[in-house]
Amino acid sequence: MSNTIIDTNYNFPGQKSVYKGKVREVYTLENDILLMIATDRLSAFDVVMPKGIPYKGQILNQIATQMMAATQDIVPNWLIATPDPNVAIGHACEPFKVEMVIRGYMSGHAAREYRAGKRLLCGVPMPEGMKENDAFPEPIITPATKAEKGDHDEDISKEEILKRGIVSTEDYEVLEKYTRSLFQRGTEIAAERGLILVDTKYEFGKTKDGKIVLIDEIHTPDSSRYFYADGYKERQQKGEPQKQLSKEFVRQWLIQNGFQGLEGQTVPEMTDSYIETVSDRYIELFENITGTTFEKADISNIQERIEKNVLAYLKN
């Protein structure tokens, strides 16, 4: 399991700064160019697991870049090139401080809130009489913003976003429009693969010339939840859990092993054999979501491979 990339420390030509997120590492270069490396780190409950998952970074990067290509006719995005399986290069943007979460079905966080008796999520009403994993009459947008302290996302209403001046009214209308358009396209792509796009999140930024573009990942198993369409109705009628296609299986394994990211809890040990099963599941996710066969990149020396491919791209 040593052939993973869990940290990077490059010094590319024209490099100005580096930002390390939970999974991605972002290098800012001259001329307003960003270079984003998807590592093999695995994050759950806002905690990064100690070991990397082979091919995970490649999988996330390739799904995101394929989905950006499949939606660029309806929403502009930051992407310029993908010189390496783990790398995306694009325009530097000022990110909006909200994540645009959109839900077609009452699952995950929405279902937990509903079970607790809440009928309002981020200022949006949820109808009475719904069961977990039922479809909403129409998709609802339930934004999230980072907490003042720590990395946890917090629910926030559109009204609160505008009142606090986090996003201007004019820009927010664009974000809403883009979010609905992307979700509609994502739903159509998923349906072609025999899947249901349940919920997802989109992040946007503004380029130096004031254009709003899609940034970060899109329709990946880390940012989205999918169900298998086949048997969905029957499972709902019987009150059975849905067959999911997301990293929920990792969260469930952690919960079963006594970890939910709470204070005092220790991350359970992931054996090499378990890590291999997680890697296999991510490959399965890739192939189901994209409808293509996953081609494993050479991971004998990922750090060296990335550096070589990026330098060749920057030289040209």
Show the domains of the chain with their CATH numbers.
15-94+266-315 (3.30.200.20), 96-245 (3.30.470.20)
Which backbone phi and psi does 195 adopt, to 5 degrees?
-120, 165
Query: In which residue are the tokens 């989905």 written?
Result: 67
pLDDT value, residue 174: 98
**Nearest alpha-carbon partner for 77 in 167, 182, 180:** 182
Question: Residue 90: which pLDDT band, with cuts at 50, 70 and 90?
Answer: very high
Average pLDDT of span 237-261: 88
At residue 1, the pLDDT reads 42
* The 24-29 sheet, strands edge to edge: 15-20, 24-29, 33-38, 87-91, 79-84
Strands 120-121 and 124-125, how do they pair? antiparallel
pLDDT attached to residue 292:
94
Residue 14 pLDDT: 93
Q: Is the pLDDT of residue 257 over 70?
A: yes
pLDDT above 90 for 87: yes
Question: pLDDT category, 150, cuts 50, 70, 90?
Answer: low
Determine the average pLDDT of the residues in 98-104. Answer: 97
Is the pLDDT reported for residue 115 higher than 80?
yes
**Mean predicted confidence (pLDDT) in 23-35:** 94
Closest by alpha carbon to 97, among 12, 171, 177, 44? 171
**Over pLDDT 90: what percentage of the chain?**
80
Say what the pLDDT of residue 229 is. Answer: 96
Section 181-200 average pLDDT: 97
On whether the CB atoms of residues 197 and 187 are closer than 8 A, the answer is: yes
Instruction: Name the residue among 287, 288, 278, 294 with its Cα closest to residue 230.
Output: 288
Between these two residues, 47 and 153, which has the higher pLDDT value? 47
Confidence of residue 148 (pLDDT cuts 50, 70, 90): low
Cβ 67 vs Cβ 92: under 8 Å:
no
pLDDT at 151 over 70: no
Q: For the ranges 60-69, 142-151, 199-208, 243-252, which has the lowest average pLDDT? A: 142-151
Structure tokens at 237: 């009628």
Question: Which of 42, 25, 161 lies closest to 100 in space, CA to CA?
Answer: 161
Computed over every residue of the chain, the mean pLDDT equals: 93
CA 9 – CA 150 distance, rounded (Å): 24
Q: Report residue 160 as tokens.
A: 């609160």
User: Is the dihedral angle over the CA atoms 284, 288, 293, 295 positive or is it negative?
Assistant: negative
**Residues 259, 132: Cα–Cα separation, whole Å:** 23
